[in-house]
Amino acid sequence: MFDALCALLLRLYPAGFRREYGREAARLLRDRARDERGAVRRVRLLIDLAVDLAATRLRGWHAAPPAIARLDGAPRFDIIEIAGPRPRALAAGTLTSLLLFASFILLFQPTSLPSVPAPLGEGGSGSESPGGDSNDFSVPSVVPDPQARHKLVAAIAANLQQFYVDRAAGRELADALLKADTKGQYEELDLGDDLAARLNRDIQTTARALGIPRGVFVADIVFSAQPLPTGPPPPMTPELRERNRAAMLQQNCLVETVDRLPHNIGYLKLNGFAEATACHEVTGRTMTSLNTADAVIIDLRENGGGFGETALQIAGYFFGRPTYMYDPRPDSPVSTRTSSPVAGNNLADKTVYVLTSSRTQSAAEYFAYNLKMLKRATLVGETTAGHQHSGAFRRVNDHFGMGIQESARPDNPYPVKGWEVIGVEPDVRTSRPEALRVARELAERRQSTR
């Protein structure tokens, strides 16, 4: 009875929503139904679903336009437009509420509750929701393949044991994964993102137990819906390099905004660190335009990373002498020191604020981490994404691969040994939308006390 009511409520959602998110919605309901047992919790689950349905019907639902990938690899996020309520939406919400409360007494009699709630569409054979025909909404369950999962975990464990820089720790990491698989801890997970996330979490837990410091990259399991390539990428040709250079210049080397805010505060919004050979001059001109500012705000809230050379170039403007910048990659092509002082630069002694968010990652985290550790900038915003990935990448099968730390890391003089998983913590925590306002207030307050 409970499953039938859930399926019926899902069928009342707009057809476009069911096509886009029906599978995920049913899986979420299945997971909640498994964990939230008892009359009170199930009432709450049904009320949550009914409220969400009513809100969706009242506001209307429209599919968001497809995300367009930028050249720096970060997605663009669009906001679903909200429409006004319609009469039939009001009627649907009223009917849903009446149905929910009318069914309450019958639904939650003890004899009607199975010991384990059956998931919607159980069996993975395309079985439909009760009462539906072939054109109705149905969400078949994806049944994990036990043998494929065991083989995948075994291959990942073998890579850890064979290639992780500390062979003894690699064996411990591998044994922990194999033991968890033997105990059936992964048997409910599909061969996809959920399994990859769980394996990464277990690797991190074992690494901490072995004394590997927080923030240090160990390994990262990734899932790709598209088949992974079987060999290295093709070499960069002069023609392709020139096209990339032209595309970067057309996008102003990912510099979105350079502005002078009130109180002579320089503002730079940088959405990626572009390739240095193409954008070295543009980066230099951008930093020079901030030269007379009394304080500088570097906005990395939408920065998905890029090239460390450009991050190092920008950091060089904030120091009066060559300064060490920690790079976690063994044999990194990026210099370990800034090219400071920069001729004609006046920013070496100016106050610097760096805006961060959960979207700030990779080379942007390298930039923010070092300026924070060197106490050269105040970070304002959210904890960054925690994507260090300083190891080699190995293909495990068609859809799974893993990065793994195969070589010794460079010495790190700082107390926090990296940002993998944990991200870079801000000095002043605030929401992503509020970060610029807060940084401006801090800069203005500092100037008023001088």
> Rounded to 5 degrees, what angle do the CA atoms 140, 141, 144 make?
140
Q: Is 99 exposed, middle or buried (CB count within 10 Å of its CB: 0-12, 13-18, 19+)?
A: middle
Contact 47, 32 (CB under 8 A): no
Q: Is the pLDDT of residue 71 over 50?
A: no
- Residue 102's pLDDT band, with cuts at 50, 70 and 90, is low
| Same domain? 24 vs 94 | yes
Q: Is the pLDDT of residue 271 over 80?
A: yes
Mind listing the pLDDT tens digit for each residue in 195-220?
999 999 999 999 999 999 999 999 99
**What's residue 76's pLDDT?**
34
Residue 424 and residue 43: Cα distance in Å, rounded? 40
Best CA proximity match to 382, nearest among 433, 417, 419: 433
What percent of the chain is predicted at pLDDT more than 90? 61
- Residue 58's pLDDT band, with cuts at 50, 70 and 90, is low
Residue 272 structural domain: 252-386+423-448
| Same domain? 192 vs 76 | no
Domain count, the chain: 3
Domain final position from 97, 112, 127: 112
Mind listing the pLDDT tens digit for each residue in 309-359?
999 999 999 999 999 999 999 989 999 999 999 999 999 999 999 999 999
Mind listing the pLDDT tens digit for each residue in 218-266?
999 999 999 999 888 888 888 988 998 999 999 999 999 999 999 999 9
Q: Is the pLDDT of residue 171 over 90?
A: yes
What percent of the chain is predicted at pLDDT more than 70? 69
Is the overall model pTM greater than 0.85, yes or no? no
Residue 49 and residue 446: Cα distance in Å, rounded? 49
- Residue 220, token pair as written in the block: 């990262």
Residue 414 lies in a domain: no
Q: Is the pLDDT of residue 30 over 70?
A: no
**What's residue 217's pLDDT?**
94
Q: Tell me, what CATH number does 344's domain have?
A: 3.90.226.10
**What's residue 214's pLDDT?**
93
Mean pLDDT score, 418-423: 95
Lowest mean pLDDT among 65-79, 91-105, 379-393, 423-437: 65-79
| Same domain? 84 vs 103 | yes
Return phi, psi of residue 275, to 5°: -60, 130
| Same domain? 180 vs 46 | no
| Same domain? 351 vs 215 | no
| Same domain? 260 vs 302 | yes
| Same domain? 50 vs 186 | no
Mind listing the pLDDT tens digit for each residue in 40-51?
666 776 777 676
Q: Is 226 exposed, middle or buried (CB count within 10 Å of its CB: 0-12, 13-18, 19+)?
A: exposed
Domain final position from 112, 130, 163: 112
